[in-house]
Structure 1
Amino acid sequence: MASSVGDGGVEVERVFIGAGCNRIVNNVSWGPSGMVAFGAQNAVAIFCPENAQILTTLPGHKAVVNCTQWLPTSKDAFKVQDLQMHHLLSGSADGVIMVWEVHLKQREWRHVLQVPEMHKKGVTCLTGMMTSHTVAIFASSSSDGIVLVWEMVLPSIAGGDCKVSCLESLSVGSKPMVTLSLAELPGDAGCTGDLVLAMGGLDQKIHLYCGDQTGKFVRACELKGHTDWIRSLDFSLPVCLENENRPLFLVSSSQDRSIRIWKIMAHVSSAISELPYKKEDIGLTSYIEGPVFVIRSACYQVSLESLLVGHEDWVYSAEWQPPLMLNGSEYHQPMSILSASMDKTMMIWRPERTTGIWVNVVTVGELSHSALGFYGGHWAPDGESILAHSYGGSFHMWRNTGTDSENWQLKKVPSGHFASVSDIAWARSGEYLLSVSHDQTTRIFAPWRNEICLGSKASWHEIARPQVHGHDINCVAIIQGAGNHRFVSGADEKVARVFEAPLSFLKSLNYAIFQKSSCIDDFQEGVQILGANMSALGLSQKPIYVHAVNEACSRLHNDMSDSLETIPDAVPTVLTEPPVEEQLAWHTLWPESHKLYGHGNELFSLCCDHEGKLVASSCKSQSAAVAEIWLWQVGSWKAVGRLQAHSLTVTQMEFSHDDSFLLSVSRDRQFSVFSVKKSGEGASHQLIAKQEAHKRIIWACSWNPFGHEFATGSRDKTVKIWAIEDGSSVKQLMTLPQFRDSVTALSWAGRDAACNAGLLAVGMDNGLIELWSLSSGRPTTGCGSELLPFTAVLAVRFDPFLCHISTVHRLAWRNLDDGDSRVLQLASCGADHCVRVFELHCC
């Protein structure tokens, strides 16, 4: 768990990262260390399958991460079992390849180097192998039609220099390659040291190139048979078979829905005249036995071993099970292949013992209504777990829990958004964190108290997905005040929607927080809605009442049809452990209670007052008439006010902590302060201040919890502190030193009410976060009678490894029940698809 300590006596510790996987085929790699690497927008994320937690994100790429590759791989880890440092390759959409180093015991990460930029377009695939403890050969393919072969000399000690050099550049024509696999060719006594590189792509052929470890590769042959793009290639290790000379197997999968297994066999004699058939032979024998190629003094023949047909859609990946260690350095290559398809299934294929015919022995994932197809499947290093990543940016993992026979059961995995996260909000008492995203979902993350990991802290998980929408969601506000848990969200559809927690969530929350909360028990009384169903068009979520749950169960079992008109009913259940993706996507919806109509454009910002009586909303705008702020009365949901002050989009709003003022900031570079007075029938409002505060767009604002001071942050890289005087005017108190990038998020937390001291969290366009210690000189008994100047001191600048990779969209402090101002929690979300929670220890 990474941390950083600032000069202001504040220590920052990362508690949680939630992120989805980039929806790209070669994006995931499961290494022999047990860690899984994947691309999350421009970052490389690392997660541990054992505790289902994302350990870290690695910053550096300037474009979307397309592919990752561990060195050593699970396939060749037996060669270098005593390595204390593993390396990770990552390639991005701008043609950049980076190398990372991890020290396995300390779990410390280091950016080693950026490979010389030779690709002109995005990197599509990486493959590699260790040839010794300190030397690796890897290859990269790109949309520019070039395949490069590299040699990497690894350091012998942690922190040492790593050298990468390009050995070969192979031009493959106008149709680029999208998948690669590299292996050593088998010989009479095992491996010969000669390498074979297989590549496949848009021309529907498999190209084999052979070379040695100096990197001089020559074309060997082409393998034909697939009738659509080839999406995956994977070499096995040489296999011990009776009466055969340790052949090498290559598995290929294609968008033609088929999988082919090719056998590469070394011939005893290299005399061309003794080959089993002549080149002019084009009959069935030549098709099955395939081409022959010669590399130096060795001769090899390729034959089609098997054609596997079973998937009903594109097969995006096929992968050999990693070798099993027998004793010492000896290995056994299992004859077992894992395939993943857009038909929502993964299959394990093995040859029958008696006939040798390859058959599908395990199928998982076919009952998922939410996966929308798998982009790739991967084996665990021990072969006892399999992992898929899907169109929805989610992971799906099964583990074999059987003893005498196989029994593959779903296991917990990390989850998160797969598009920009636009807004977050804490529950009233901080029990959970709510986030909304342009991936059109709303998600709830919470610590699961009976799952202790990382020392004495509870592990965080996604525990519900209240809203699955048909539009990008831009903003959210938790409705404060007494009563059931409710929130209002705004999306690109111009309508704000109100959701209320169902009974199944309230009971599940009790398990999550691992304690009986009296307030939650009170909420459960009178709640007759158990959960919600998704409508056919994917917009409204209809309630499922408690008395109707049995009917829903019976309908689910009796009617398994799945079309646009008939969506299977959800069966909300009380969760006693963190849910898996299938449960989240279908059975944790919240019912929608109201729609708020009125805005003419896409919703952009929402906020709720602290009493839970008013909600303010704004939308995208380029005119004063559309830029007005609407006030809604909670409960009746009537529009009780239309506040006019701005001429462009209002980017953020916030009520003061005593609810007497509403602050708004806008793209028109101005802030406005309204006085708001609530009455029984609604609210009255008055504009008391309006000022052009910055030279560029104002993105963020935040109130001092202890008074009527507030902060504004702008694209002009400044943060300014203001104060309301006499309830009728605004005075600028100070400007913080200029920041390194545009300020896009602010959140002010109180620490000491007596001295009006607090912490201001500042998020920037480059993803970095800083904390500033603020204190002002209101005359109080605790700090003397004289008015002291307002001061701001940098408390801590977060380590880049802790921070977001791109724009920070929102920061929010958690309300902790224990009231210990020395321990605070800060949540953040950003354009890098991540939701993050930090814990701060203040001296």
Structure 2
Amino acid sequence: MSGNKEESEVEVKSVFIGAGCNRVVNNVSWGASDLVSFGAQNAVAIFCPKTAQILTTLPGHKASVNCTHWIPSTKFAFKAKQLDRHYLLSGDTDGAIILWELTLAGKKWRQVLQLPQSHKKGVTCITGIMVSETDAIFASTSSDGTVYVWELVLTSAGGECKLSCLETLFVGSKPMVALSLAELPGNSGHMVLAMGGLDNKVHLYCGERTGKFVHACDLKAHTDWIRSLDFSLPICNDEANSILLVSSSQDKGIRIWKMTLRGSLTNNQGTYRKEEISLASYIEGPVLVAGSSSYQISLESLLIGHEDWVYSVEWQPPSITSVEETTYHQPQSILSASMDKTMMIWQPERKTGIWMNVVTVGELSHSALGFYGGHWSPDGNAILAHGYGGAFHLWKNVGVDVDHWQPQKVPSGHFAAVTDIAWARSGEYMVSVSLDQTTRIFAPWQNSASLTDKESWHEIARPQIHGHDINCVAIIQGKGNHRFVGGADEKVARVFEAPLSFLKTLNLATCQKSSFPENLQVDVQILGANMSALGLSQKPIYVNTVQETPERNGNDGLDTLESIPDAVPVVFTEPPIEDQLAYHTLWPESHKLYGHGNELFSLSCDHEGKLVASSCKVYAYNTKCYFCFKL
């Protein structure tokens, strides 16, 4: 640039971030800041449930992120009202743990430090509690058979965090995969650490806030691996000397354990008082000794209802019980998430005290393999799940007098490496393909109801759900310029046509008041597509066929393995959720382009959109093979 001209500055800002959640049990955490963190490959992603947008990603890990945990978490949201900084812990498959800081005023993130004492193998769980507004205790466990306990002194204005390792516990050859920390009631300064793992037992360790955790006792009842543990806060105001521990296992069961203060060991007078036995009677277990106090442990309840492994259990966060917001109450409500594709809310009946399942929500997708975790919002009015396919599911209680849980919008994205992206020829949307074997379309939804007037990006269609890793994509000429060709490891390039349902949805997303062109109704007679059993060929669903749907109970309507009969194309008036994307947004396949003998890895189209060039791998000579197709 010549010296006579002033240099122009280009402003670059992030408009949209799409990412899927890593397939790990303890990967997601909902914090008191009302933000959700999760691992997306080697990065930590942060999304806002209110706007259904991923706000930022935090790079720093050199390996895939296994788990995240907020300090303070939703359990201690009542202690976080005066905090101007929140903290986040994240652990990866290399054993590294990083501490992040969020300044609420400017929504600014910074990496505070990486814990100096790293695990030798992948971190499997991180848990922490707030012992005061400036002090937190957290623990981490790994498949290397060690558990670290740390103290974190939170920063003041302009200061730095102070971190110190309180204890290192060696648990043996069977590592722990679930942790939970709590302060013992009626015994200030003492804490209890529950851990569970591959030996089917819940191990309890007692320690002081200064460290020195010692093994106290074991809880034996589960018959398979322990997957999740969570302590409640003192269960209610009139029972301040008791806390509850909930545990879930691969034996499909959930157990609630009660820890009640018996009294001081130095008191010679009879301090142990037998509690009244109700219909919800419990089985007495071992006695936990912490310092000069002892606690009677008992099995309070066994919850049976899930049909598969229960990966996650979590107590509902405390609620405010006074106008001054100085007292709180621990709700008797537990959220569980299972591989049976459901989440359940459990509560005791008022009269009998028997724990019952009061709410059940779930995922209907045929391709889903269940939930890896479930989490409460800070106010307890929303629940979030993440599943095997890297997708989120959010339900909100919109009922007034009666609970009524409705699904909400959430961010989405690929949960494996993105191999190629392409802009639509009209520039209205973006197509991406990935090693997660899906093709996705992202577009700005201008008329979506959001907290801001700005347009928000969402996944509006999932045109291809494949049986092979997809490596490349190219947009080509078609009716309305909505046609693409994709290449995968199967050595065949496939051409997909935009159906009528997508064209109408795209029109609603990009034009607030414009009417749908009626001529497209005549030109495009394909409403959507059905998925085959093996996830390869997607067959078209014609407009007239949908209007004359046969009865499913009759012989003509028998379900076959050739297609999923429930896949009915839908025109969406708002961004679709995960179940809708997986079922109702497929595109029909119009052509197969043969010729390659190995995996396709690159596609390109000319400016007119009529010629497509493709290339594949040739292993024998370490060269490539190229083809050109005319459409």
TM-score normalised by the chain length of structure 1: 0.70
Question: Corresponding residue for 2:244?
Answer: 249
Residue 329 (structure 1) shift = 2.5
Question: Corresponding residue for 1:173?
Answer: 172
Contact 2:425 2:481 in 1 (8 A): no
Match status 1:471 vs 2:468: yes
CA distance in 1, matches of 2:80, 2:622: 68
Residue 551 (structure 1) shift = 4.4
Contact 2:282 2:301 in 1 (8 A): no
Contact 1:556 1:569 in 2 (8 A): no
Secondary structure at 2:16 match in 1: strand
Match status 1:571 vs 2:571: no
Contact 2:76 2:130 in 1 (8 A): yes
Residue 538 (structure 1) shift = 1.3
Secondary structure at 1:227 match in 2: coil
CA distance in 1, matches of 2:19, 2:339: 22
Contact 1:481 1:613 in 2 (8 A): no
Residue 629 (structure 1) shift = 1.3
Match status 1:219 vs 2:218: no
Residue 77 (structure 1) shift = 2.8
Equivalent residue runs for 1:109-508 within 5 Å: 109-158=109-158, 160-187=159-186, 192-240=188-236, 244-270=239-265, 288-327=283-322, 328-451=325-448, 456-480=453-477, 483-508=480-505
Question: Corresponding residue for 2:624?
Answer: 627
Question: Corresponding residue for 2:611?
Answer: 614
Residue 287 (structure 1) shift = 8.8
Residue 604 (structure 1) shift = 0.5
CA distance in 2, matches of 1:221, 1:365: 36
Contact 1:556 1:568 in 2 (8 A): no
Contact 1:448 1:459 in 2 (8 A): yes
Which residue of the other structure, out of 544, 556, 559, is the alignment partner of 2:541? 544
CA distance 1:237–1:559, shift in 2 (3 Å):
farther
CA distance in 2, matches of 1:454, 1:566: 40
Residue 417 (structure 1) shift = 0.3
CA distance 1:481–1:347, shift in 2 (3 Å):
closer
Contact 1:480 1:609 in 2 (8 A): no
Secondary structure at 1:346 match in 2: strand
Identity over the aligned pairs, expressed in percent? 71
Contact 2:531 2:563 in 1 (8 A): no
Secondary structure at 1:289 match in 2: strand
Secondary structure at 2:503 match in 1: helix
Secondary structure at 2:583 match in 1: helix
CA distance 1:208–1:561, shift in 2 (3 Å):
farther
Stretches of structure 1 lacking an aligned partner (at least 5 in a row): 1-6, 278-285, 635-843
CA distance 1:425–1:552, shift in 2 (3 Å):
farther
Contact 2:530 2:563 in 1 (8 A): no
Secondary structure at 2:129 match in 1: strand
Moved more, 118-127 or 20-29: 118-127
Q: What amino acid is aligned across from residue 372 of structure 2 in structure 1?
A: Y
Residue 216 (structure 1) shift = 1.4
CA distance 1:481–1:388, shift in 2 (3 Å):
closer
Contact 2:97 2:114 in 1 (8 A): yes
CA deviations 1:751-780 (Å, max 9, x no partner) are xxxxxxxxxxxxxxxxxxxxxxxxxxxxxx
Stretches of structure 2 lacking an aligned partner (at least 5 in a row): 1-6, 274-280
Residue 620 (structure 1) shift = 1.4
Question: Corresponding residue for 2:34?
Answer: 34
Contact 2:77 2:378 in 1 (8 A): no
CA distance in 2, matches of 1:63, 1:602: 27
Q: What amino acid is aligned across from residue 96 of structure 1 in structure 2?
A: A
Q: What amino acid is aligned across from residue 332 of structure 1 in structure 2?
A: H
Residue 483 (structure 1) shift = 4.5
The total of aligned residue pairs comes to: 616
Contact 1:480 1:608 in 2 (8 A): no
CA distance in 2, matches of 1:480, 1:552: 32
Residue 624 (structure 1) shift = 6.1
Moved more, 444-453 or 467-476: 444-453
Question: Corresponding residue for 1:642?
Answer: none
Residue 129 (structure 1) shift = 1.1
Residue 548 (structure 1) shift = 1.2
Question: Corresponding residue for 1:755?
Answer: none
Contact 1:245 1:265 in 2 (8 A): no
CA distance in 2, matches of 1:254, 1:481: 52
Alpha-carbon RMSD across the aligned residues, in angstroms, is 2.5
CA distance 1:496–1:217, shift in 2 (3 Å):
same
CA distance 1:115–1:589, shift in 2 (3 Å):
same
Secondary structure at 2:283 match in 1: helix
Q: What amino acid is aligned across from residue 39 of structure 2 in structure 1?
A: G
Secondary structure at 2:12 match in 1: strand
CA deviations 1:491-527 (Å, max 9, x no partner) are 0000000000000000000011025779965544321
CA distance 1:513–1:521, shift in 2 (3 Å):
farther
Q: What amino acid is aligned across from residue 474 of structure 1 in structure 2?
A: N
Equivalent residue runs for 1:743-762 within 5 Å: none
CA distance in 1, matches of 2:483, 2:399: 43
Residue 353 (structure 1) shift = 0.5
Bigger radius of gyration among the two: 1
CA distance in 1, matches of 2:250, 2:162: 37
CA distance 1:555–1:460, shift in 2 (3 Å):
farther
Q: What amino acid is aligned across from residue 417 of structure 2 in structure 1?
A: S
Contact 1:95 1:117 in 2 (8 A): no
CA distance in 2, matches of 1:20, 1:40: 6
Moved more, 138-147 or 516-525: 516-525
CA distance in 1, matches of 2:555, 2:374: 32
CA distance 1:625–1:262, shift in 2 (3 Å):
closer
CA distance in 2, matches of 1:241, 1:325: 12
CA distance in 2, matches of 1:559, 1:89: 56
Moved more, 108-117 or 459-468: 108-117
CA deviations 1:146-172 (Å, max 9, x no partner) are 0000011221015x3222111100011
CA deviations 1:216-246 (Å, max 9, x no partner) are 111110000001110100000001275x453
CA distance in 2, matches of 1:521, 1:43: 45
CA distance in 1, matches of 2:105, 2:554: 49
CA distance in 2, matches of 1:564, 1:303: 50
CA distance in 2, matches of 1:71, 1:330: 21
